[in-house]
Structure 1
Amino acid sequence: MTTTPISAAADSRPTAGNDSARALTGKRRVAFASFVDENYLPGFLVLLRSLALSNPDVCEDFIVLHDDLRPASVAAIRALHPRVQFRRVDADHYDSYVKGDQDNYLVRKAYFILDVFRIRDYDTVITLDTDMVVLGPITELLALREGLAAVPQFFYGDKTRMLNSGLLVIQKEYLSDEFCAKLDEIGRSGRYELDKHDQGILNALLDGDFVDLDPKYNYVKRRLSGDLPVPDETAILHFTGRHKPWQGGEYGYSQAQARWVEFDITDAELHAAFIEKGDPAHPDLLIHYGTAHVGRTGDVDTARRVGLAHIGAGDYQAAVDILEQVHLPIDEAWPHEVYGNALMSVSRYEEARAHLLLATAAPNRAATAFSRLAQISWVHGDDAGAQKYALAGLSVDPTHRASRIWHQRTVGVPAQSAGSPEDQLAHVAFYMDRQGNAGDKLLPESVRLAFDPDTGGRRWHSVHAHRLFDEAALERVNARRGMVIGGGGLFIPDTMPNGNSAWQWNVPDELLNRIDVPIAVYAVGFNAFDGQSYRAERFRSSLRLLVERSSFFGLRNHGSIAKVRSMLPEHLHDKVRFQPCPTTVTRQLVANWQDPASREDTILINAAYDRAGLRFGHDYGYFLAQMAKAVKDLGKLAEVKCVAHSLDDEKLAFDLRREHGVSMPVIPMYDFENDEIRDLYARTKLVIGMRGHAGMIPFGCGTPIISLISHPKMTYFLRDIDRPEWGVSVHDRHLADRLVERSRDLLADHAKTVADVHGRQQELWKVTEANAADLRTILGG
């Protein structure tokens, strides 16, 4: 493999940061699609309502193919779904098809659904005819990953294998120019059942080669002839034939018609019915329907649920806004707790405190409310107050984890700053709690090693990023010789939300502007997940000021550089430079480092479960099955162990044993000290990790890695070291086989692989050394 030099200077090369997050993670994009015109609009509106009420936890993009819809129709559709996209079909394209009745406008439009095969920006598309109504769960369809799936056409006594095209589950390989060309060829030749239109063309092309779905997913009305009841297991009822439900239906199908009528309701009735269903509800649907319901009714409980949905999505101001619309009764604790949480997250601390104190009156909400009060006190530097509230939370619920964490933060806090201020650097970082994420625990020390072999209080003054940076903190920092900001992917909106910066350092602009010592931003990462967003204006403003005030602004990968530059005016772009995470050059930083004389015959696997929905989408069951296969096969190469950076990471071992009978030992790295973390990773042969630092730390210790990619930052790092083949998406169709194949390749000549890791690391070290020369000039020491 060739070695590509990595530049320390402001880099303008194309980077992963210019790619979509989905392209970087391989996450499947799923959409529904229907062709809709004015004649079939009543059916489509019922279809949307039935989908929401029968599957309240499902909300994917819905592509509305159309040839012409009135503005009022578009508005009616938008009111029913928060993620609709309107795409006009190329109607003239289908005029060249041979048809049974060339002049019938209904026949002409029957072919327009074939435009679905021209969609290129989704991995799975599920088509639904507008004369369908959804009656049961369809989540199984969302998990399909292979082929083109459909329900076989229903015939009495005929075994001919054909599909019914009313519902199709189409995978990406069919969404191609090649497949469209085949459709066109058959359509223009007329070599198909002309009276079956689009369905006839598909059957002629596929010739029975499709994946069978259970008939419950496209249960045709003809099965109910004689006014039979709709079977309970029916998931989707299809009103095939000339007579449509919105036209009055057909004699002999009154029970089927009644099921359609259930969903022929007003928007207000839909909102009320959706809210009444309770949880689980998809947050996008809950926000879409719930906001309108609150505006109409002022319902407090709905406002609470919508507020929680906004908080879960990281939109804290929207949570404040919805709860400000309603009157919160004093004796209803839960809404006060949610409102207090939202206010705290936008830094309206005193208002938050008042609502949280009201919430402590209810035993079932008191522990959580007390823990949030402890958090507010801790953020303001009041350890005694934080400890008091945390103990109050534990007295209500001795098992309450958040209260225990806040109590631990206030017990045995080490004394600050043993050295002289003029000899110290202030260090803004996220200082991890005991039993917290092992990678975040190691980071602050690693950053300090890049500046000074002495990482203790004599040379460093700690500033916890999550504590409010106030006048007293400003005075302490300005007494030091400089400030270093680094120790994690600090550019993330939801780890410890605040309204002052909208990223992890809780610093108001006014105080940031008054720091008069040199500021060095060091190896910070842009860590937003695929699907996350920042409060754009507040974050951009804070980011711009930080870049303007910094004497050195280094980000840990070129993907982060591209993301941050896109939010800055052009004249600041050159200030943003590459500084690798110091964990990736551990062998160079740790004094007297010795590579292991021998390694244990082990493969360590790490999986991450924070923000699991953003990581896995609909594919967790698939991921787990693939990992079960991989662990079995990897066991033939070495002993496989689960390494848990945090408590939640143990879920991989639990789920593999419960779902697939596959067992492996668990290493609780969250309990390790920093030297133990480095030692373990240095002594193993291979690490397969999903967390960023389950890749960067072992790499920095000289150990080969494979990344399980569920976050863009994993791809960013592998691109920076010019080894993209060391990553496999958690959504990869052949995940197990690829993991085993790449593991086998890396282990086949382990010495050569380790040497390659060392060579890649050396390139990062050159960048770090070049930056270090500039930093010595800026910070002295």
Structure 2
Amino acid sequence: MTTTSPARATASPAPVPSSDALTGKRRVAFASFVDENYLPGFLALLRSLALSNPGVCEDFVVLHDDLRPGSIARIRALHPRIVLRRVNAEHYDAYQKGDQDNYLVRKAYFILDVFRLREYDTIITLDTDMVVLSDLRELLRLREGLAAVPQFFYGQHKLNSGLLVIQREYLTDAFCARLDAVGRSGDYELDKHDQGILNAVLDGDFVRLDARYNFVKRRLSGDLPVPEDTAILHFTGRHKPWQGGEAGYSRAEDRWREFELSDADFHAAFLARPGTLHHDLLVHYGTPHVRRTGDVESARKVAAAHIASGDYQDAVDMLSSVHIPLDEAWPHEVLGHALMSVSRYEEAKAQLLLATAAPNRAATAHARLAQMAWVHGDNTEALRHATAGMSVDPTHRASRLWAQRAAAVPAQEQGSAEEQLAHVAFYMDRQGNAGDKLLPETVRLGFGTDTTSRRWHSVHAHRLFDRAALKRVNERRGLVIGGGGLFIPDTMPNGNSAWQWNVADEQLRGIDVPIMVYAVGFNAFDGQSYRAGRFRESLRLLVEKSAFFGLRNHGSIAKVRAMLPDHLHDKVRFQPCPTTVSRQLVPGWSDPAHREDTVLLNAAYDRAGLRFGHDYGHFLAEIAKAVRNIGAHTEVRCAAHSLDDERIAFDLRREYGISLPVIPMYDFDNDAIRDLYAKTRLVIGMRGHAGMIPFGVGTPIISLISHPKMAYFLADIERPEWGVSVHDRNLGAVLTERAIGILDSHAATVADVHERQQTLWKVTEANASDLRAILGS
């Protein structure tokens, strides 16, 4: 193969920015200034935050000037995402102060260092004499201004700085210069310290929060009870609860003492909390609790958290460290799930069979047993377990899915082995994701117009690639691997490769026909990573063995090269997803003579926490604005790639009274998918293939960016303006402006799509020439 092909010579864009920069996802942090005197208060604050908001875990920035190593260890034990920052204490020596010699007065200014942080979009500061008593999600959802509670005694014009919600526009050198100017001039209330400076600078220009978010102790004089709706209780004044307190406030101090707990009591209290517990907190507190107590239910919770984040071996280790009674079905089921995810199948089967004895876990256990049997190619056994799962729970979706897969009659191959290419892909089920359904056929079109079994031998990526499968592949002309974001750890986890193809190194080394990796994507979400060395080892071997290794965007190329030794970097080349050039590949394709006056809207909900963070309410409100405004020009319809995608229509109707027609694309065949996208005027999509497929058939797109791959694609076609982050503060207005702009200049935009597509097609043609040389055809 030539090493100077046009495809390989194509210049790469600039280095790929971080994932959160690409998606626009807000980085949120809490922050406090902590010293040794206030350490007991801060430890109680950390416990209260976790116990009252068990589903929330953001960075907690600890500003400090003199914390001892033992104190730092105690702080880290209470929060998994502590970020230590030493303040520049001397910086504040130039400030005019009411009492220059009082060390507490000097330290009162150090919290202002929070405005010097640059890596966050929203920072919530909390004084260390506070405890959190209830939900803070409203504060996490704030997007604008600097928010605080007005002072209790001084009316609405001045804020109490004990709690601040600071947005990025205040985290600037310019704002810090304003603080410094006032501090050095002394033109503020000197006895109010940092609070005095902020009030002088802001002069009443702040977002006012309800008093319950900074409920000062003085409101409870006379030993009044703490109101039920108090979110944050603030022990202002000289006398702190950990120093003995103050007469007349015993009921308030009793609330503080609820959080004066030993580590053991705190861990137990957290694990007993109802509702969803944040993964990081659950692992951080649950691991020492299980180590200390051997509690099986806690071990199950921690293991389930590990599974949810793709840490399957950690889940196995956690549950293997405790004794699980035979009749404890749920821990057996979770351990079985973890074991099958690291390909310890026989051990997993034993655990799952134990779980089938309990009616409330039997359906799930049978579904996992069916999945394992299917992975091993035993459809009879898979159908037996799936049927057993449905007999326990006729509504059990996973059991129904595996029953359908197991009962499916495989297509009979028509061609002879020596004329075929083997094709590893994720072959989507009926009613599965429309984009994934289209991919295998489109990959095959990159190798010729015949996509049938006369020329292709299908190898499902999720089925175990055993010796028999290896023998069948080696009887073919070559092996093509492609059809989606196969480099993702959690769709169908396995311990053999740690990516979607369930292949062990031994079998991969045994392939002796040319291997061609074609338009695969690195599909990790912002906030998701490949933690296992197994993936890197499998990836390296795959690259070494491949005659052609093409990834579908330059972002994926950068990510994969970062995991490889330098000498393999040049083997990784750009091969656009073939869906983006469908007009060139589909036999007999002709552009539509007429388009319907519609705009199609697609939203995705898999891994919603990674997509939206704290911003789903904001996203929905902004989409409602856009749908109303765009709908005044053109009809908007919901294009559902999967069943879950219909949620956008349900939520818009429930929250905003907007009704959208829903198009069930998961029921469409491939021609119908392409035809629908070719005949609309614009597609606004959140899924990768809700952008790439319409682009490939010549339709303008706007991508709702919640995953880095969307930005990767737009960078490759040099049209970043065709994307907008789901976190954009002005999402509705931006989306409306861009959509109407495209609709008003539709012919020119379609022409631009065609021109952009030509660039991708030239790369695809050049690669096709190299592929023909590899295959000798």
The interval holding the TM-score normalised by the smaller chain is over 0.9
Aligned to 2:109: 111
Q: Do 1:601 and 1:639's aligned partners in 2 also have CA atoms closer than 8 Å? A: yes
CA distance in 2 between counterparts of 1:654 and 1:729 reads: 22
Aligned to 1:56: 54
Q: Do 1:669 and 1:677's aligned partners in 2 also have CA atoms closer than 8 Å? A: yes
Q: Which amino acid in structure 2 is aligned with residue 112 of structure 1?
A: F
CA distance in 2 between counterparts of 1:370 and 1:350 reads: 15
SS of aligned partner of 2:149: strand
Q: Which amino acid in structure 1 is aligned with residue 89 of structure 2?
A: A
Q: Do 2:54 and 2:270's aligned partners in 1 also have CA atoms closer than 8 Å? A: yes
Quote how far apart the aligned CAs of 1:10 are: 5.8
SS of aligned partner of 1:9: helix
Q: Residue 643 of structure 1: which of 614, 639, 644 is its match?
A: 639
Quote how far apart the aligned CAs of 1:650 are: 0.1
Q: Do 1:690 and 1:710's aligned partners in 2 also have CA atoms closer than 8 Å? A: yes
Aligned to 1:759: 755
CA distance in 2 between counterparts of 1:325 and 1:278 reads: 25
Q: Residue 511 of structure 2: which of 498, 512, 515 is its match?
A: 515
Q: Residue 83 of structure 1: which of 59, 77, 81 is its match?
A: 81
1:240-259 map, 5 Å: 240-259=236-255
Aligned to 1:180: 176
Q: Residue 479 of structure 2: which of 479, 483, 488 is its match?
A: 483
Residue deviations 1:526-572 (CA, integer Å, cap 9, x gap): 00001111133111100000000000000000000000000000000
Aligned to 2:119: 121
CA distance in 2 between counterparts of 1:365 and 1:597 reads: 55
Aligned to 1:217: 213
CA 1:71 to 1:10, structure 2 compared with 1: closer, same or farther past 3 Å? farther
CA distance in 2 between counterparts of 1:49 and 1:240 reads: 19
1:703-742 map, 5 Å: 703-742=699-738
Quote how far apart the aligned CAs of 1:14 are: 4.5
SS of aligned partner of 1:462: strand
SS of aligned partner of 2:647: helix
Residue deviations 1:430-483 (CA, integer Å, cap 9, x gap): 000110000000000000001010101000000000001100000000000100
Query: What is the aligned residue count?
Result: 773
CA 1:160 to 1:725, structure 2 compared with 1: closer, same or farther past 3 Å? closer
Quote how far apart the aligned CAs of 1:398 are: 1.2
CA distance in 1 between counterparts of 2:383 and 2:10 reads: 47
Correspondence 1:746 to 2:742: yes
Correspondence 1:670 to 2:669: no
CA RMSD of aligned residues (A): 1.0
SS of aligned partner of 1:637: coil
Q: Which amino acid in structure 2 is aligned with residue 352 of structure 1?
A: A
Aligned to 2:298: 302
Q: Do 1:502 and 1:535's aligned partners in 2 also have CA atoms closer than 8 Å? A: no
Q: Do 1:10 and 1:577's aligned partners in 2 also have CA atoms closer than 8 Å? A: no
Q: Do 1:416 and 1:462's aligned partners in 2 also have CA atoms closer than 8 Å? A: no
CA distance in 2 between counterparts of 1:277 and 1:355 reads: 27
Aligned to 1:381: 377
Correspondence 1:624 to 2:623: no
Percentage identity across paired residues of the two chains: 77
Quote how far apart the aligned CAs of 1:780 are: 2.9
Q: Do 2:363 and 2:392's aligned partners in 1 also have CA atoms closer than 8 Å? A: yes
Of 743-752 and 463-472, the range deviating more from structure 2: 743-752
Correspondence 1:504 to 2:503: no
Quote how far apart the aligned CAs of 1:414 are: 2.3
Q: Do 1:523 and 1:579's aligned partners in 2 also have CA atoms closer than 8 Å? A: yes
CA distance in 2 between counterparts of 1:492 and 1:284 reads: 21
Aligned to 1:578: 574
Q: Which amino acid in structure 1 is aligned with residue 231 of structure 2?
A: A
CA distance in 2 between counterparts of 1:406 and 1:608 reads: 23
Aligned to 1:684: 680
Aligned to 1:588: 584
Quote how far apart the aligned CAs of 1:275 are: 1.2
Residue deviations 1:572-610 (CA, integer Å, cap 9, x gap): 000000000000000000011010001000000000000
CA distance in 1 between counterparts of 2:748 and 2:372 reads: 52
Q: Residue 203 of structure 2: which of 203, 207, 232 is its match?
A: 207
CA distance in 2 between counterparts of 1:52 and 1:760 reads: 50
SS of aligned partner of 1:618: coil
Quote how far apart the aligned CAs of 1:413 are: 2.3
Q: Residue 767 of structure 2: which of 771, 776, 781 is its match?
A: 771
Q: Do 1:587 and 1:593's aligned partners in 2 also have CA atoms closer than 8 Å? A: yes
Aligned to 1:68: 66
CA distance in 2 between counterparts of 1:677 and 1:225 reads: 68
Q: Do 1:11 and 1:577's aligned partners in 2 also have CA atoms closer than 8 Å? A: no
Residue deviations 1:55-85 (CA, integer Å, cap 9, x gap): 1111111000001211100100010001111
Correspondence 1:194 to 2:179: no
Q: Which amino acid in structure 1 is aligned with residue 382 of structure 2?
A: A
SS of aligned partner of 1:319: helix
Aligned to 1:272: 268
CA 1:694 to 1:333, structure 2 compared with 1: closer, same or farther past 3 Å? same
1:500-579 map, 5 Å: 500-579=496-575
Q: Do 1:416 and 1:461's aligned partners in 2 also have CA atoms closer than 8 Å? A: no
TM-score by length of 1: 0.98
Of 565-574 and 281-290, the range deviating more from structure 2: 281-290
* Structure 1 residues without counterparts, runs of 5 or longer: 1-5
Q: Residue 165 of structure 2: which of 169, 177, 200 is its match?
A: 169
Residue deviations 1:184-207 (CA, integer Å, cap 9, x gap): 111111110011000000000000
Q: Residue 23 of structure 2: which of 2, 22, 25 is its match?
A: 25
Aligned to 1:36: 34
SS of aligned partner of 1:8: helix
Residue deviations 1:278-307 (CA, integer Å, cap 9, x gap): 322111111111111111110001111111
CA distance in 2 between counterparts of 1:429 and 1:416 reads: 18
Q: Residue 698 of structure 2: which of 688, 702, 710 is its match?
A: 702
